[in-house]
Amino acid sequence: MIVVGELINGTREPVREAIVTHDEDAIAELAVRQHEAGADYIDCNVGMVGQQEVEQMRWLVEVVTSAVDVPIAVDTANPDAMEAGLDAYFEFGSNAAPIVNSITLESEKTERFLPLLAGRQVRTIALTMDDSGVPASVSGRVDAAMRLLEAIEEAGVARSDIFVDPVVTPLSVDPGGARITCEAMREIADRCPECHLICGVSNVSYGLPQRTLLNRVFLSQAVAAGLDAAICDPTDSGIRSAIYAAEALAGRDEWCGRYLAAWRRGELQ
């Protein structure tokens, strides 16, 4: 499982305050904790808009890449902020390809975002949204995924570097959303086995109690449907345990090697 650590997100009030006040120690500590917990990428989302987002994104990326030697995911819907984040990463970061989070089929954004991929060594999240929003049906999300794959490939990104996100909607407002997402994953995996499947796991539980329970069960269902990358909290021992168990049950952990190693380290909860 490829894990993208989700904690550096300016929509969380303590993180927003740290970004606004340029508290390097607080941001670095979050990056280090996620890296030590096993994150393969550190998501960088300043949670702001306009020119302020552009300025803060560059600062945020510089701080994170100085704190940990692990690639980042530049997470923004603002193409100017994306460019600033990528420029900062390639100036200060490691040699590993970062993730562009994310490209959609929204026409105005596509025209701005796709050129940013050209000539850069990046991996990309393809979010199944268009000008009408998130398709309600499985077929709509699969169709959006296939069109996005074609567009991103034409921009120079290999399918093996594309992460398709069929979009997880909160169970509290969309009772069938988790099922539709998993069904879309299965079909996308069948039609494009070379690409990765990713989602923001905690989105499913928004607005409900015992969120970690819902996150863990949904993660297990998604892994069975083909999920091989997750935007989640790697410091949550319950989530890490669910990943080990789900991958073993899905036949993606030969002889349960990683599961047994985690048990010996006392990590399973």
What's the confidence (pLDDT) of residue 55? 93
My answer on whether 13 and 121 are in the same domain is no
Q: How is residue 62 written in tokens?
A: 């510089």
Whether residue 70 is found in the same domain as residue 120: no
> Does residue 201 form part of some domain?
yes
- 74 and 180 in a single domain? The answer is no
157 within some domain = yes
Judged on CB neighbours under 10 Å (0-12, 13-18, 19+), 257 is: exposed
pLDDT, position 50: 81
Computed over its alpha carbons, how large is the radius of gyration of the chain? 18
Do 103 and 184 lie in one domain? The reply is yes
- Integer angstrom CA distances of residue 98 from 5, 37, 71, 171, 257: 13, 19, 5, 30, 28
Q: Which residues contact 85 (CB under 8 A, 6 or more apart)?
A: 44, 57, 58, 60, 61, 72, 74, 76
Same domain, 113 and 188: yes
Instruction: For residue 264, tell me if it sits in a domain.
Output: no
Residue-by-residue pLDDT tens, the chain, 269 positions: 999 999 999 999 999 999 999 999 999 999 999 999 999 999 999 998 788 999 999 999 999 999 999 999 999 999 999 999 999 999 987 789 999 999 999 988 889 999 999 889 999 999 999 999 999 999 999 999 999 999 999 999 999 999 999 999 999 999 999 999 999 999 999 999 999 999 999 999 999 999 999 999 999 999 999 999 999 999 999 999 999 999 999 999 999 999 999 999 999 98
Residue where one domain finishes, among candidates 50, 80, 95: 95
Count of other CB atoms within 10 angstroms of residue 197: 24
Is 161 in the same domain as 203? yes
259 found inside a domain: no
Look up residue 52 and give its two tokens.
Answer: 């302020």
**Whether residues 108 and 188 fall in one domain:** yes
The total domain count for the chain is 2
H-run or E-run covering 217 = helix 211-225
Both 105 and 224 in a single domain?
Answer: yes
* Measured distance CA(103)–CA(101) in Å, rounded: 7
> Residue 24's domain spans which residues?
1-95
Same domain membership, residue 219 and residue 188: yes
Q: Coil, helix or strand for 41?
A: strand
Look at the alpha carbons of 139, 142, 146, 151 in this order and tell me if their dihedral is positive or negative.
positive
On whether both 67 and 125 belong to a single domain, the answer is no
Kindly state whether residues 109 and 131 are assigned to the same domain.
yes
Q: For position 158, which CATH number holds?
A: 3.20.20.20
